[in-house]
Amino acid sequence: MSPLPAGDPPVYAARNYLNTPATGLRSWLTTLDHKRIGVMFLVATLVAFALGGVFALLIRIELLTPGPTIMDAMTYNRIFTLHGVVMIFLFMIPAIPSGFGNFLLPIMLGARDVAFPRLNLLSFYLYLAGAAIALWGMIHGGADTGWTFYTPYSTTTTTKVVPILLGAFVVGFSSILTGLNFIVTTHTLRAPGITWSKLPLFVWSIYATSVIQILATPVLGMTLLLVAIEHAFGWGIFDPARGGDPVLFQHFFWFYSHPAVYIMILPAMAVMSEVVCAFSRKNIFGYKAVAYSSLGIAFVGFFTWGHHLFTSGQSPYDAGVFGVLTMFVGIFTAIKIFNWVATLYRGSISFKTPFLYFLGFLFFLFFGGMTGVALATVSLDVHWQDTYFVVAHFHFIMVGSTIMAFLAALHYWWPKLTGRLYSERWGLVGAVLIISGFVFTFLPQFLLGNEGMPRRYFAYPARYQALNVASSAGASVLAIGFSVVLVYLLVALRHGPVAGSNPWGSRGYEWETSSPPPLENFEVVPAFERGPHEYHDLPAAAPGAGEGRHA
C-alpha cells in the first residue's frame, strides 16, 4: 500500500481478473466483469483504429501526385468515407470511455463492478454488431458520402450507404448504454468516503461524457434512420421537391455530431487530469474548476452545432448566434489548460512517456482550439469552409488530442492493466515519432487549406504538390511510430518486468489495489480518507523511481 516503491520487489498479483474465474475464450466472451469488457473494448477499438489508419495511408498515397496515383475518384470517395466512419464511430467515440472508462471507473469509485454488468456486456456486443453491419456494407461496395452523410447526396447515391448508416445507428446504442451505466454507477456505487468532491477528475469528465452520450446520441439515431428511410422509400423529409429541407438534416446531424466532439475530447481531458498530477507529483490546481468545467463543456457543447452550417444556407442571424455561442466553449477549455499548466508549476516533473503525450496533447489542444475559435468567426469560415484548413483543425483538436490521451492512458495504466512495465526508452522513441509525425502530417494541411485546396478531392492543381508530399511523408512517420508502440507493448505483455501495484507512486485510488486487479477490484471494501490527487503529504521523489533498472 505504500505510495513509494519500498525495498520489496514488486509483486505480480497471482489471483487477478485475467485468470479468474477462468482463462478460456468462453469465459471472456460471457464475462460480466467490467475490466474484461473494458479490455475487449480496447482490443476491438484498436483493430478499428488500425483499419482506419490503413484507409488514411491509402488517402495520403493517393494525394502524393496531383493526378490519379493508385485509385480512381470513386474509390477515393469510398476510402475517405470509410476512414471517417471507422475512425469516428468505431474508434474515437468508444475508445476511451468504453475501454478505459469501463476498466477504471468502478475501480476509481471503489466499486465491485458497474451498476448494470449485463447491460455492459450487451453494449460491447452492440458495438460488435454495429461494426459487423458497417463492415458488411464496406465489403459490398462502401459508401461515398463522407462520414457526415449529407443529404441530398446520401439519399440518392447508389453506393451501399444504408448498411453503414444502420451500423452507426447500432453502435450508437452501445454508446447510450455505456453512458447510462456510468451515470448510475457514479451515483449509486461510490465506496464509503468517496464524496462528489473526492471523485477522481477522470470520473468527473467521463460522467460529463456520459451525459452527452445519453442526450445527443438518440438524435443521431433518429437522423440516420430518417436518411436510411428516405434513401429506401423516398419519403422526402430532406427533399425540397417534396416539401423537405436538406439543411434540416445538417441541423439534426450536427446537434449530435458537435457534442460528439466532446464525447471524444472530454475523456481525453479525463486522462490528462490524472496524468498531469501523477507526473508532476502535485495536487491538481483548482479541483473544482477542472471538475465543473467538464460539465460546462458538456452543456455549452449543445449550443454550438450551427457553426457547421455557416455556408449551407442557414440564416445569417442564426449563424451569428451560433458563432458567438461556439466561442463560449473556449472559456471552459482555457480554464482546464490554465489549471493543468498551473499544476506543473513547481511540481516535481518526470519526463515519462505518458507525460510526453501530455505535452503533445497540450500543443494539439491549444493549437487546434485556437484555430477553432478562428473558424467560429463567420466571415473567416466562409474562406476556410470545406478546405484542408478545417481538416487540419479537427485532426489537431479531436484526433491529435484524443490519440495523445489514448496513448498516455495506455502507457500510464499499462502496469495496472497487464501487471507489467513497458520499455520506457522505446516508449519515448515512439512518443517522439508519433507527436512529430502528427505535426508533420497536418501542419502542411493548414497551409494547403489557407491557399484554398478543397477537401475530399482526389486530384489537385500541381502547385499544391510540395505540401501534399510533406503531409504524406509525415503520415509515414506516424505509421512507423504506431508500429514501434505496437511492437514494444506486445513484447512487454510477455517479457516486461513485473510492475507491482503502484510503479508510478501515484495517489489515484486505482493504484491502491494490486496489479492486475483481482476480480472484485479490492480485496476488502476500501475506505478513502484522502483525495485522489493529493501529493502534498509526500516527500518529493520522482515517480517510477523503482523501475530505474528497466529504463
Partner 1 sequence: MTAHAGDAAVPAPPHSHRGRYLAVWIALLLLTGLTWGLSRSHVPGFAGVAIALGIAIVKGTLVALFFMHLWDRPGPSRLVLLSSLVFVALLIGLTLLDVSTRSPLALPPDADTAPEALRRTILEEEAAGRRSPPERLPRATP
318 binds, among partner 1, Cu ion, none (CB under 5 to 8 A by kind): partner 1
Interface with partner 1 in residues 498-527 (CB under 8 A): none
**Closest distance of CB 368 from partner 1, Å:** 25
Contact between 394 and 368 under an 8 Å Cβ cutoff? The reply is: yes
For residue 387, the minimal CB distance to partner 1 (Å) is 22
Nearest residue to 123 (alpha-carbon basis) of 164, 177, 204: 177
What value, to the nearest 5°, has the Cα angle with vertex 217 and ends 213 and 218? 130
CA angle 393, 430, 48 (to 5 degrees): 60
Residue 115 sits in the site that holds partner 1 (CB under 8 A): yes
Site membership for partner 1, residue 234 (CB under 8 A): yes
Pairwise CA distance, residues 103 & 114, whole Å = 10
Q: Which does 315 bind (CB under 5 to 8 A by kind): Cu ion, partner 1, none?
A: partner 1
Q: How far is the CB of 207 from Cu ion (least distance, A)?
A: 22
**Residue of 31, 53, 131, 504 whose CA lies nearest to 39:** 31
If binding is defined by CB under 5 A, does position 395 make contact with Cu ion? no
Q: How far apart are CA 41 and CA 47, in angstroms?
A: 10
CA 486 to chain centroid, in Å, comes to 18
User: With CB cut-offs between 5 and 8 Å by kind, which of partner 1, Cu ion, none does residue 251 bind?
Assistant: partner 1
Is 68 near partner 1 (CB under 8 A)?
no
Residues 143-202, interacting with partner 1 (CB under 8 A): 152, 155-156, 184, 187-189
Q: At a CB cut-off of 8 Å and minimum separation 6, what does 487 contact?
A: none
Q: Give yes or no for residue 72 binding partner 1 (CB under 8 A).
A: no
Residue 258 touches which member of Cu ion, partner 1, none, C-beta under 5-8 Å by kind:
Cu ion
Segment contacting partner 1 (CB under 8 A): 29-37, 171-179, 303-311, 512-520? 303-311
Binding piece for partner 1, criterion CB under 8 A, among 299-307, 399-407, 495-503, 541-549: 299-307
Query: Which one of partner 1, Cu ion, none is in contact with 19 (Cβ closer than 5 to 8 A by kind)?
Result: none
User: By the 8 A CB rule, do 288 and 335 touch?
Assistant: no
Cα dihedral sign, 164-31-1-545: negative
Please name every residue paired with 420 in a beta bridge, in sequence order, or none if there are none. Answer: 498
The residue (of 289 and 321) whose beta carbon lies closer to partner 1 is 321
Computed on alpha carbons and rounded to an integer, the radius of gyration of the chain in Å comes to 23
Q: Name which of partner 1, Cu ion, none residue 128 binds, using a CB cut-off of 5 to 8 Å depending on partner kind.
A: none
Which of partner 1, Cu ion, none does residue 248 bind (CB under 5 to 8 Å by kind)?
Answer: partner 1
- The verdict on 1 binding partner 1 (CB under 8 A) reads no
Applying CB under 8 A, among 150, 302, 363, 366 the residue interacting with partner 1 is 302
C-alpha cell at 154: 446520401
Q: How far is the CB of 308 from Cu ion (least distance, A)?
A: 5
Residue 9 binding partner 1, by CB under 8 A: no
CB 545 within 8 A of CB 10: no
Torsional sign, CA 127, 132, 135, 137: negative
Contact region for partner 1 (CB under 8 A) — 14-22, 73-81, 307-315, 384-392? 307-315
Closest contact distance (angstroms) between CB of 187 and partner 1 is 6
Is 92 in contact with 398 (CB distance < 8 Å)? yes
Question: What are 498's strand-pairing partners?
Answer: 420
From the CB of 146, what's the least distance to partner 1, in Å? 17
Closest distance to Cu ion from the beta carbon of 157 (Å) = 24
Burial 197-216 (b: 16+ CB within 10 A, else e): ebbbbbbbbbbbbbbbbbbb
User: Min. distance of Cβ 172 from partner 1 in angstroms?
Assistant: 16
Site membership for partner 1, residue 316 (CB under 8 A)? yes
Answer for which of 321, 334, 432, 491 binds partner 1 (CB under 8 A) is: 321
**Distance of alpha carbon 411 from alpha carbon 488, whole angstroms:** 11
How far apart (Å, rounded) are the C-alpha atoms in residues 170 and 362?
A: 33
Q: Is 258 in the site for Cu ion (CB under 5 A)?
A: yes
- Smallest gap, in angstroms, from Cβ of residue 546 to Cu ion? 44
Instruction: Examine residue 411 and tell whether it contacts Cu ion (CB under 5 A).
Output: no
Supply φ then ψ for residue 387, to 5 degrees: -110, 175
Give the Cβ contact number of residue 463 at 10 Å.
10
Among 136, 150, 303, 366, binds partner 1 (CB under 8 A): 303
Nearer to partner 1, 191 or 407 (CB): 191
**Closer to partner 1 at the Cβ: 35 or 251?**
251
Which residue of this chain has its Cβ atom nearest to Cu ion in the complex?
Answer: 258
Query: Which residue is associated with the grid cell 523511481?
Result: 545
All 3 cell numbers of residue 59?
488517402
Give yes or no for residue 463 binding partner 1 (CB under 8 A). no
Contact yes or no for 436/359 (Cβ under 8 A): no
Which segment (83-91, 258-266, 269-277, 372-380) binds Cu ion by CB under 5 A?
258-266
* Angstrom distances, CA of residue 16 to CA of 101, 107, 501: 19, 14, 12
Buried (b) or exposed (e) across 18-38, using 16+ Cβ within 10 A? beeeeeeeeeeeebebbbbbb
- All 3 cell numbers of residue 184? 448510475
**Near partner 1 by CB under 8 A, which window of 195-203, 240-248, 331-339, 530-538?**
240-248
| Amino acid, res. 411 | H
Residue with smaller CB distance to partner 1, 155 or 472: 155
Q: Which of 9, 21, 68, 236 binds partner 1 (CB under 8 A)?
A: 236
Which window, 65-73, 129-137, 213-221, 257-265, contacts Cu ion (CB under 5 A)? 257-265
Which residues make up the interface to Cu ion (CB under 5 A)? 258
Which parts of this chain interact with partner 1 (CB under 8 A)?
115, 152, 155-156, 184, 187-189, 215, 219, 232-234, 236, 239-243, 245, 247-248, 251-252, 255, 302-303, 305-306, 309, 313-318, 321-322
